[in-house]
C-alpha cells in the first residue's frame, strides 16, 4: 500500500468506507441478530470468489471519521456492529472499538486474519484464505471459523488441515 494509506491504516481514526447499513446478520453464530454493518475498503488478498471486489482499492472510497461512523451506528436500532471488508485487519481498529464500547454496542469482526487484529472484540469470525494465511495470533482470538469452499476438493482438504 502507498504511504498515505499506511498512515491512515495505522492511525485508525478514519476509515475508507465502502458502505454501512442496518440489517439482519445472515450467517454464522449471530444469524438473525439485528446489526449495523460497516464495510471498509482495502484488501490485498484478492480471492477470485470475492463478493465485494469493489472494496479492494481503498482509494475508491471516501474516508470517514470513526466518530461519524459510530454516530450512524448509534442512531440505528442495532445494538451490535459487524465490521467487514475488504480486509479490516489492515487497520488499527482500536479507536473504533473504543468508541463503540462507550455506547454499549457489541462489536463483531469478520476477517481473514492476514494481519494482526487490533481492538477489543466481542466476537471474531475468522475466514482464513489459502493465498494469504492468517497470522498465528488470529486463531487464538477467533470465536468462529468460516472457510470458503470454492474448489471442492482442494479447499475442503485445506479446511480440514487448518481447522
Specify if 24 maps to a domain. Answer: yes
**CA 111, CA 138: separation in Å to the nearest integer?**
9
Specify if 9 maps to a domain. Answer: yes
Give the chain's domain count: 1
Specify if 156 maps to a domain. Answer: yes
Is residue 2's pLDDT more than 60? no
Task: Return mean pLDDT, the chain.
Answer: 91
Is residue 69's pLDDT more than 60? yes
Are the C-beta atoms of residues 110 and 51 closer than 8 Å to each other?
Answer: no
Specify if 49 maps to a domain. Answer: no
Specify if 34 maps to a domain. Answer: yes
- Global confidence as pTM: 0.92
Contacting residues for 3 by C-beta, under 8 A, at least 6 apart = none
Q: What is the pLDDT of residue 76?
A: 97
Residues of the chain above pLDDT 90, percent? 72
Instruction: Write the pLDDT tens digit of every residue in 97-154.
Output: 999 999 999 999 999 999 999 999 999 999 999 889 999 999 999 999 998 888 888 8
Q: What is the pLDDT of residue 153?
A: 83
Q: What are phi and psi of 114, to 5 degrees?
A: -65, -20
Specify if 20 maps to a domain. Answer: yes
Element (H, E) at 159: helix 152-162
Specify if 104 maps to a domain. Answer: yes
Specify if 73 maps to a domain. Answer: yes
Q: At what angle do helices 94-102 and 66-75 cross, to 10 degrees?
A: 40
Q: Which domain holds residue 146?
A: 3-44+54-162
Cα distance between the two ends of the chain? 30
Are the C-beta atoms of residues 43 and 131 closer than 8 Å to each other?
Answer: no
Is residue 85's pLDDT more than 60? yes
Instruction: Write the pLDDT tens digit of every residue in 38-58.
Output: 999 999 988 887 888 888 888
DSSP output for 66-104? HHHHHHHHHHSS-SEEEEEES-GGGS--HHHHHHHHHTT
Q: What CATH number has the domain bearing residue 67?
A: 3.20.20.70
Amino acid at each position: 500500500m502507498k504511504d498515505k494509506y499506511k498512515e491512515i491504516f495505522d492511525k485508525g481514526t478514519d476509515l475508507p468506507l465502502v458502505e454501512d447499513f442496518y440489517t439482519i446478520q445472515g450467517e454464522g453464530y449471530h444469524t438473525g441478530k439485528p446489526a449495523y454493518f460497516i464495510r471498509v475498503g482495502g484488501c490485498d488478498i484478492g480471492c477470485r470468489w470475492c463478493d465485494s471486489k469493489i472494496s479492494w482499492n481503498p482509494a475508491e472510497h471516501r474516508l470517514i471519521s470513526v466518530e461519524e461512523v459510530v454516530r450512524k451506528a448509534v442512531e440505528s436500532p442495532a445494538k451490535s456492529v459487524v465490521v467487514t471488508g475488504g480486509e479490516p485487519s489492515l487497520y488499527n481498529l482500536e479507536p473504533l472499538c473504543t468508541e463503540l464500547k462507550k455506547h454499549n454496542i457489541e462489536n463483531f469482526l469478520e476477517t481473514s486474519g492476514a494481519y494482526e487484529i487490533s481492538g477489543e472484540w466481542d466476537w471474531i469470525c475468522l475466514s482464513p484464505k489459502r493465498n494469504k494465511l492468517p497470522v498465528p495470533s488470529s486463531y487464538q482470538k477467533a470465536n468462529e471459523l468460516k472457510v470458503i469452499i470454492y474448489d471442492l476438493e482442494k479447499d475442503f482438504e485445506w479446511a480440514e488441515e487448518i481447522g
